[in-house]
Every structure is written in C-alpha cells, then in structure tokens.
Structure 1
Amino acid sequence: MKNSLRGIVLPLTLVVTLLPANLAAADQTYAVTLDQPVHGRFSVDPALPADGRYPAGTVVTITTQPDTGYTLDAGYYSVPGRWGAMYHESPTPVFSVVIDQDKHLGASFIEAAAVAHVTVRDNIVYAQPGKKPLKYDVFSPVGAKNRPIIVIIHGGGWTTNDEDVMRGLARELTRGGQFVVASIDYRWAGKADGDATANSMVNLIEDCYGAIAHIREHAADYGGDPTRIGVTGDSAGGHLSASVSLMVERIGTRGFGREPGVFEFKPTYVPAGKSVAELKAEMLVAIRAAAPSYGVFAGAWLKADPENPAADASWDQAVQPLHAIPAATGRAVPQYLTRGTRDPLITDAMVTEFMDALVKAGQRVQYVQVGGAEHAFFDWKPDAKTKATFAEHGVYYAAEMKAFFASVLQP
C-alpha cells in the first residue's frame, strides 16, 4: 500500500519505472515531446537531445516544482490511444518513464487550496485475480469519522483508464466534509490487461463488488461508515455502478450460467472469516443509492461473456441493469441519472428507457440532461480541454450529485 498526502506544496521528484514488453533495437530512437506546464515547471534527466529523440530504453527522471500556492496534481506520460491521448499518471513523488515508443511527458498542477480539505491514500490493492493488481484510491476529508462512503467506478469502454480519471469528481464530492470517497479500478474486458484468458463482463462486476467489500472492511481507517454506501460512475462506469446497486440480490457462489437460470456474482475479494452469504446480507443493507452518469443499461454493448459459446441472450440480460431492477417495496435504491445533451454515444432514449423501468418498479429516480455537455464531462485529465469541461459541467453537477447522495445517506 502506498500512502500520500496531497495539498502540501513541496518540490516533488517523479521517477516512474515502466518496463516495456519488448525493448527495441539499441540504435532505435523515439520522439519525445515535453508538454508546457501551467502553474509549475519540470526538468528531465537526461536532457532531451536537440533532435527531440531519446534512444530506446532510456530511463527519464522528471523533477517537478509547483509555483507558490500550487501543488502537483500528477506527473504523466501520454501516448495515442482509443480515445485520443491516453494518460498514464502518478501523483506520487517518484515517477520514472522508460522510453519505448513516442511519448509526451509532463506534469499537471492544481491550486493547493483545492485539495487542502482532503487526505488521499493512493493505490490500495484489494485483489489480483489476473496480471493487473486491482486497486483503489481513498479521498478522506480531513478529520473524517463515520462518514457515508461514495464509491466511484471509472469509464473507458470497459477496456481503458483507471481510477485516476475520476479524481476531480472525488475531490468535489469530498468538499464540505460530508463524504469519504473511494475511486476504484477493475479488470479490463477481454485481454486488454494482457491476461491469457479473456475477462468477461461478469468478472468486472465481481471486481466492483470485491472492491466495495475491501473498502467496507477498512472503512474505519478511512473515516467512513461501512453501512452507508452510494455508488457512481461514468460511461462504462455508469453501467457498472448501476449494476452494483441493482444486482446485490445475485451475489452468491453458484456461478454465472453454470446452472440454467442461475446468474450469480462472487466478489473478487471476500474478507477473511466472512462467507459470501454474510457479505451479501451486509451489502443488501449498505448499498443504498446510485448515480450512473451517461451509462449503458441494456443493448448490444453489454455481452456477459462474448468468448463463451454457451452464453445466450439470458446471460447478456443478466449483466444489463435494465433487467435487474428490484421492486422498491422489497429494496429501495434511488438513482440519479445524468447525460449531456450533445453526447454522441449515449442517447436520450437509452437513459429514458432505464428511467421508465425504474419508475415502473417504484424506484425513486431523477434524470437530468446537462445542456451543451458531451460525453465524459466528469472525467479529469492533465489536458486543458478536459479540465475546462470539468470546470464548466462537472463541478456544478458534482454538487447536485452530492445533494442527491446526502438525501439518501445522511442520517
């Protein structure tokens, strides 16, 4: 476990070691761009050659210095990816980069006052069922005790990003000291993590339940109350947060699809000395509300296990929140739904269908369309455009989301 405190203005040395799968020939070089920082500066060692190219395998050490009144948000490198520039970040003081392809290097800074209210514990590992250690970050308001917990599940098409992309939302939800927030990571679908066996949507849901189990087990250490939990997430995380909130009844050990009509999720992590049945009973009481943002709730994108020939439509429906809504008379799970009016991926009809199904089940639901917003307005990345989008839409609707959770989780 690595612990760090954000909000302290100090010179930070970032040294990140990332081992390439295959080092290129010794004489190969790669282009490196040093992004212009704002509200701080950084240097690289060894210095970037005049032609802007490092030999393959060069380990670059980055040293950063925030301006007065600012602190390090994250050091990073970025490479082209599925959604444009994909950032690989670390908020820790030591960050190193191995040059194994063309890369951008940089550092993002934030006003120290923006994070002075919160203590952050980074990269807490809760399980490792495959190649990638599964982890989460905890954002605790200074002096927090017995606060309700909001769990954030990141998006990225189920195959990209990690918990870092939700830190802006986490910081906003902790503002005012009402909530402890945990932002979680999970296995990527298919073989995106490099696993020999493809990860199914079932695995991802089980990871989310495992993360919540670990967070609940250590809630007192974080200043949180394990009996009052809300979940949120955006895009793919919108699907996963809705699933986690609505499918608690199907936590179990009988497997997913091994028996006709039986679709159960076994959390990736179960606390020692506790049975899955005991964990299920606790989560049925603890998980009380969800705020899925521009999520996917049904349809062709949600396949339970695409590589399993036994998987049929009933398997797929079992990972789709639209088909998992409990009657409110049995278990009330209020939902707060958001979507940008200019979202090119998630349509109004998709969210409305889910809203209507919640209403039919007697569940409390609020659906807010965010005027002018596109997809992923709750994301936080080092680039100026993402930060500006979050400032324009994310900050305000994070406050609205916080009010929703307060109405359910505050005593």
Structure 2
Amino acid sequence: MNLRLLVLGFCAIGNWAIGQDTMHQVTVDSMINGSISIEPPLPEDGRVLAGTRLKLKATELDGYAVDSVYYSVPGRWGAMYHESLTGEFEVVIDQDKHLGASFIKSKEVKHVQVTHNVVYAQPGKKPLKYDIYSPTDAKRLPIIVIIHGGGWSTNDEDIMRGLARELTKGGKFVVASLDYRWIGDADGDDKPNSMADLIEDVFGGIAHIVEHAESYGGDANRVGVTGDSAGGHLSAAASLLIDRIGDGGFGAKPGVFDFKPTYLPEGKTPADIRQQLRTSIRAAAPSYGVFSKEDLGRFVQSLGEQASEAVAPQDHIPQASAREVPQYLLRGTKDFLIRHESVEAFVRALQAKGQQVIYEQVDGAGHAFFDWKPNQEVKATFDKHGVPHAQKMRDFFEQHL
C-alpha cells in the first residue's frame, strides 16, 4: 500500500476513534414537586459518551402534574430549552446538556385537554405543528391562535403553553399554539427562509386549524390571533395581511407579493383561504411586537423595499369600513427591545384607518413576560405580569369573538 495512503488511513481511523470516544457532561437540574428517572443511569461524574440515548421519565408528587421533561443548552438569551410535554423524552447526548422536568399544580390544568404536535405541513426539514388546548366538553367555542416569539429564529409552540392554559380558563375558548419555520438557515434548511415564508406558514397553520375546528370543539368562523415579540409581528400580519393571500408568488413577478399558505385543504385555493380568513379572523392581540418595515430592520434587508413593505402589517391596515379587526396591544415599560414610540406609531396608523385599538403599557414588565419555561424566574414573571394580562386578553377576545 502507498505509504501516504497508509498514513491517511491511520489518521482517519484515529479521528473516528476520537469522535467515538468523545464525552459530554450531563447535569441533572434540581427539581421541585417531582423527579425524573434516567435510563441508562448516569455515571457519578455525569460524563456520558457522545451518541448515547437517554430515556427520561417524569414522576409528579400528589397534587401536581407534569408540565414538561426537558434538556437545555446555552442559547442566545440564556438556556435554550427543548421539551416534551408528554412526560417522557428520549435525548441524544451530542453536547453538554442539562436535564430536568417541570411540574405544575393539577388544578391549573384540570380544565383543559391538550392535543400535542398536530403536523400541518413540512416545507423544510422540520415538521410544522401546533398544540390544541380544548376546555373539557368544548363545543363550537371561538378559537384563539397563539404565535410564539424568539426573534423569528428560536423557540417553538411549547413556550406559549402558560398563556394557552390561561386563555382556556373559564371554558370560553379553544386555543391553538402554533409553530413555524425559523428565518434564514436557523432550521438547517438548504434554502434560507424569508419573512414571507414564515407568514405563509402562519396562514397555512390557521387554515389547518380552521379546517379541523369542529373536531377540536372550536368554531371555524370565530378566530382571534395573538403572539408575542416576533409572534406579535406575525399575529398582526395574520390579521392585517389577509388580502395579500394568493397564488401569484412573493416577488416572483415585478410588483407581485402574494402569500400562498404553506397548507391548503384539499380542493381549496389560496383565494378560498383568503375569503375564509377575511370572515373568520375577527380580532388580534399582538404583544410587544414590531409592525413597520423600518423596525423589521435586518430581518427584511435582503428583500428589497417593496417586499419589506409587503411583510409589514403597519403598511396594510384595512379601512374599518371594509373590514374591522380590533387590536389589543401590550408592552412592558421596561422592555429593552420594543420602543414605546414604535408601538404608538402602529396605534396611530390603526386609528387613521378607523380601527378599534387598545394599547396598554405593563408597569415594570420587561420583554417576553408571556413566555413559559421550566425556569422559576420565568414562571414568576409570568405569574406577576402574564396571568393578569391574559385575563384582560380573554376579556378583549370575549368582546370581539
């Protein structure tokens, strides 16, 4: 054998062996009101061979229910949680990870039945899905669709479960918590996703929810949308950009910027969905979002002027005489990302079109107070600011749906 090939062969074998022997640190977080079992058991030092699959199972104490089982890794804004809401989770160890579980008082969830991970489309590598929260014995209730935040590039529908549970209290609404593609290549898609793709996902997810509304105990003709941060933008878009749903393509032809929903029910056209959502979506509650092309900034820079305007809700508010879409807006007074002046400009634009709008600033609240994570600080923030304003949001939707 050629000496050079022999050396390369040994190097390749050596590198393979090193890769196979890579160890990662696994840490089990402290938990209250329950515990997890791990199979196979962790060694005392927590060092685990790369590629090992660990099966996690949560067990709650009396009076509590499993909120989630999770692993976490470092993220842009602290720990990034990846969760299973079913009480069991198989985790592949491919980097240092924290493991744990979150628990919630049984009385907080006994009123609602949850259907997890309903897949509505798969335009890229990840299946797009939503969770349904149906009050017990729900029948023809209005539907509220929640769209999560995370800079359009992190999180999924699980982070909105606290808000979903609050909105179903009282048994007056079915709630759907919706996921979508992440912008750019954050999902690992071969072709980067644009803001238009995300809006098409949202329209597709809502079309799927409306199609199956009766099976969830919902009313397809009474839909509200809400979301926070990036989801604030997307929920405003879902309520205000409906007239741009079509099959002409987004930017494929000069001056044509249509949104074709990622999912279309069998036999339905984009025009059918446009007509359906024009009458179904009756109100929106976008929390601490961005609404103008200027505030969308770097997330739309690659689209060009016309396309950037096409994904900006503030530039496409219908006249209330043509279609009323009342809006309920929230922002924390200590929000370091969303400026009061930006939300106020959206308010003025809505009022100029004759739309009803309520804008409240939440005293002392920062950004993302509607988020729910298996983290005591995040939960405490939700209890302080999210719970009372979820009640106000329920009142708003009850009035308009």
Shift of 1:274: 1.4
Indicate conservation of the 8 Å contact 1:202/1:304, yes or no.
no
Indicate conservation of the 8 Å contact 1:23/1:100, yes or no.
no
Change (3 A) 1:394 1:225: same
Partner of 1:301: 296
Indicate conservation of the 8 Å contact 2:130/2:176, yes or no.
yes
The counterpart of 2:140, out of the listed 120, 123, 146, is 146
Shift of 1:306: 4.8
The counterpart of 2:336, out of the listed 324, 334, 344, is 344
Matched, 1:229 2:223: yes
Where do residues 11-410 of structure 1 align in structure 2 (5 Å cutoff)? 25-298=19-292, 299-302=294-297, 306-307=301-302, 311-409=303-401
Can you list the C-alpha shifts for 1:356-377, whole angstroms capped at 9, x where unaligned?
A: 1001110000000000000000
Indicate conservation of the 8 Å contact 1:302/1:319, yes or no.
no
2:167 aligns to what SS in structure 1?
helix
Indicate conservation of the 8 Å contact 2:301/2:308, yes or no.
no
CA RMSD of aligned residues (A): 1.4
Can you list the C-alpha shifts for 1:273-329, whole angstroms capped at 9, x where unaligned?
A: 11221121111000111000000111253567655xxx3211101111110111111
Alpha-carbon distance between aligned partners in 2 of 1:107 and 1:188, rounded to the nearest angstrom: 26
Can you list the C-alpha shifts for 1:59-117, whole angstroms capped at 9, x where unaligned?
A: 11223210001010000000001111000000124311111100000000011111000
Change (3 A) 1:222 1:51: same
1:403 alignment partner AA: D
Q: Unpaired runs of 5+ in structure 1? A: 1-21
Alpha-carbon distance between aligned partners in 1 of 2:253 and 2:50, rounded to the nearest angstrom: 52
Alpha-carbon distance between aligned partners in 1 of 2:236 and 2:123, rounded to the nearest angstrom: 23
Alpha-carbon distance between aligned partners in 1 of 2:37 and 2:281, rounded to the nearest angstrom: 46
Runs (4 or more) in structure 1 with deviation over 6 Å come to none
Alpha-carbon distance between aligned partners in 2 of 1:153 and 1:83, rounded to the nearest angstrom: 19
1:151 alignment partner AA: V
Shift of 1:258: 2.6
Q: 382-391 or 251-260: which moved more?
A: 251-260
Alpha-carbon distance between aligned partners in 1 of 2:267 and 2:257, rounded to the nearest angstrom: 24
Give the TM-score of the pair, scaled to structure 2: 0.94
2:138 aligns to what SS in structure 1?
coil
Identity across the alignment (%): 59
Give the TM-score of the pair, scaled to structure 1: 0.91
Alpha-carbon distance between aligned partners in 2 of 1:312 and 1:347, rounded to the nearest angstrom: 24
2:397 alignment partner AA: F
Alpha-carbon distance between aligned partners in 2 of 1:146 and 1:83, rounded to the nearest angstrom: 39
Report how many residues are paired. 385
2:296 aligns to what SS in structure 1?
coil
Would you tell me which structure has more helix in proportion to its own residues? 2
